[in-house]
Amino acid sequence: MSIEEALEWIHSRLKFNIRPGLSRVSALLELLGHPEESLSMIHVAGTNGKGSTVAFTRSIFMQAGLKVASFTSPFITTFGERMSINALPIADDKLIYYVEMIQPLVAELDKDAELTGITEFEIITVMAFKYFADEQVDLAVIEVGLGGLLDSTNVIKPVVSGITTIGLDHIDILGSTIEEIAAQKAGIIKPGIPVVVGNIELKALRVIWEVARKNTARVYQFPYDYRTEVEEHEHFNFFSGQEAILDIEKSLVGLHQIENAGMAIELSLVYASKVGIELTEDVIRSGIREAFWPARMEKLGEKPLILLDGAHNVHAMNRLLENLSSEFPDKKITIIFSAITTKDISQMIKMLQTVKNSHLILTTFDYPKALNLGDFQRLEEEGVELAPSWELALVRAQKNLAEDDLLLVTGSLYFSSQVREFLKKEK
């Protein structure tokens, strides 16, 4: 089997099963001897900030000398990065090995009317757990795929859970109100297992508190149990209980990353105290400084400055606009934006139209649910440029910009992945 054939088989599976639930992933794990039960884990849910929080947390424990696995989605550079150990994606030959192992088991389950239709995400979740268990990692940091309660990762029993943010996203699946979405995210809270909570509005918090109370789960709440304080040049201070770490330098650009980094530190401290690991201030500092996460205010060029940011929903777009106004108030900005139809595209466009001294280019890309430019022709009257080819739009923008201008590519993470690959090839 080639890597292309392995990936083709994975992608051939359903994206979503019409019968949500954990029975299929549990059945597949049972056939493999429940590898997830041997893992020490941190579980992270949230609307935005999950990936960055995972990256910071992973980096802290790598600096502490641990063998750290991470399960994330979607991928930006290679499929294998979804299941990484010490930030290195799974090798192609190992991915093939696990596909060949799991294929006949899936075929067996497909014969059962109750268990048929195991999805792509369920398969790679199981594959990741088996890979991490076989490699005997010290810690696995697991990012929720969608929601929490019925997400295939929710079969695990972590040492500590985390919920980063709550916003209106995936409303077709998770619910149309903040409270409904919060209930889905809070579904990862387990009996007696502590949960670290990020900067979340009160309506959502009430839901989380109630679920935690029913599960007798200790809540570590921002900004009461831990907090961050912004310093100059995006450095920050961190406070938790009797702990204070001052003037921390972070690797990821954007003021919102301070909250993500703060949450990662708190998650790490809670985990360390539960398993009996000592985390020094130097380890935490270097972990936050060395963390890397693609397509999150990622710098891909200078003169002009090119930034790539996967602001793929309204909540993330708010954060992006805050960053632009605080970091680049005087720059002339060209924005290339695309998204998928499950998101509130119209609202995100309206938000981008408010950016001062900017020119907005709306485009599409190679993806089944990518936006249709024909639906947005009216925007040309408002000065928005419609570009059928994002590649041409990108090349043209690079040529037309002055050295001190900013080119921002944003929207869908699937779009960001394609742009990133294109720009890397150009270099």
Return the CATH number at 338.
3.90.190.20
In this prediction, residue 293 has a pLDDT band, given cuts at 50, 70 and 90, of confident
Same domain assignment for residues 259 and 167:
yes
Upper half-sphere CA count for residue 303 (Cβ side, 13 Å): 0
Q: Please, what is the average pLDDT of the chain? A: 92
174 pLDDT tier (thresholds 50, 70, 90): low
CA pair distance 52, 252, nearest whole angstrom? 8
At residue 173, the pLDDT reads 56
Considering only residues 210 and 255, tell me which one the structure prediction assigns the higher pLDDT: 210
pLDDT at 292: 84
- Per-residue pLDDT at 314: 86
Let me know whether 53 and 170 are in one domain. yes
Q: Are residues 131 and 32 in the same domain?
A: yes
Q: What is the pLDDT of residue 242?
A: 84
Taking the C-alpha atoms of residue 240 and residue 34, their distance in angstroms, rounded to an integer, is 36
Whole-number pLDDT of residue 169:
60
| Mean pLDDT for the stretch of residues 92-111 | 96
CA dist list (Å): 49 to 30, 44, 262, 296? 32, 10, 11, 10
Give 104's pLDDT tier (boundaries 50, 70, 90). very high
How far apart are the C-alpha atoms of 191 and 346, rounded to whole Å? 41
Are 91 and 169 in a shared domain?
A: yes
Local structure of residue 91 (DSSP, 8 states) = P
Helix ranges, 338-427 (H):
345-352, 390-400, 413-426
Boundary of a domain, candidates 273, 290, 307: 290
Q: Which residues, other chains included, contact 36 with Cβ-Cβ below 8 Å and sequence gap of 6+?
A: 29, 129, 133, 155, 156
Q: Residue 216 belongs to a domain with what CATH number? A: 3.40.1190.10
Look at residue 347 and tell me whether its pLDDT is greater than 70.
yes
For residues 180 and 211, membership in a common domain is answered with yes
Tokens of 400: 């037309």
CA 242 from chain center: how many Å? Answer: 30
* Percent share of the chain, pLDDT over 70: 97
More confident site: 48 or 315: 48
> Could you tell me which residue, 178 or 93, shows the higher pLDDT?
93
Does residue 358 sit in the same domain as residue 243?
Answer: no
pTM: 0.81
pLDDT interval class at 346 (50, 70, 90): very high
User: CA dist 53 to 18, 131, 167, 266, 296, Å?
Assistant: 31, 22, 16, 10, 12
Residue 170 has pLDDT above 60, yes or no: no
Span of 141-150, 155-164, 165-174, 349-358 with lowest mean pLDDT: 165-174
75 or 385: which leads in pLDDT: 385
22 with 141, same domain: the answer is: yes
Number of structural domains in the chain: 2
Per the CB < 8 A criterion, the answer to whether 200 and 208 are in contact is yes
Alpha-carbon distance of 366 to 339, in angstroms, equals 11
Strand order of the sheet with strand 219-221?
A: 88-89, 83-85, 68-71, 139-143, 41-45, 160-163, 195-197, 219-221
- CB 320: neighbour CB atoms within 10 A? 25
At residue 282, φ and ψ (nearest 5 deg) are -65, -40
pLDDT number for residue 300: 84
d(CA 409, CA 427): 17
Q: Are residues 85 and 101 in the same domain?
A: yes
Return the H-helix or E-strand segment holding 327: helix 314-327
Distance CA 42, CA 151 (A): 15
Q: Give the range of the structural domain holding residue 98, as residue numbers without chain letter.
A: 3-290
Q: What is the dihedral of CA 49, 51, 52, 54, to 10 degrees?
A: 120
pLDDT for 182 equals 92
Name the band, by pLDDT with cuts 50, 70 and 90, for residue 413.
confident
pLDDT above 90 for 322: no
Q: What is the pLDDT of residues 54-92, one digit of tens each?
A: 999 999 999 999 999 999 987 777 889 999 999 999 999
Q: Which of 270, 290, 310 is the last residue of a domain?
A: 290
Asked if 313 and 282 sit in the same domain, the reply is: no
Contact 397, 363 (CB under 8 A): no
183 and 306 both lie in a single domain: no
Amino acid at 304: P
Residue 426 has pLDDT above 80, yes or no: no
**For residue 115, is pLDDT > 70?**
yes
Count of C-beta atoms within a 10 Å radius of residue 354? 9
* Burial class of residue 243 (count of CB atoms within 10 Å of its CB; 0-12, 13-18, 19+): middle
- The pLDDT of residue 175 is 58
Q: Do 116 and 224 have their domain in common? A: yes
Q: In whole angstroms, give the CA distance from residue 40 to residue 140.
A: 6
Residues 253 and 347 in one domain: no
Residue where one domain finishes, among candidates 290, 321, 345? 290
Query: 104 is written with which tokens?
Result: 């006949």
Rounded Cα gap, residues 292 and 52, in angstroms: 8
Nearest to 206 by CA among 192, 187, 186, 222: 186
Give the tokens for residue 194.
């502590």
- pLDDT tops 70 at residue 26: yes
Nearest to 280 by CA among 292, 268, 294: 268
| pLDDT value of residue 123 | 97
CA 402 to chain centre: 33
The pLDDT score that the predictor gives to residue 54 is 96
Proportion of the chain above pLDDT 90, given as a percent? 74
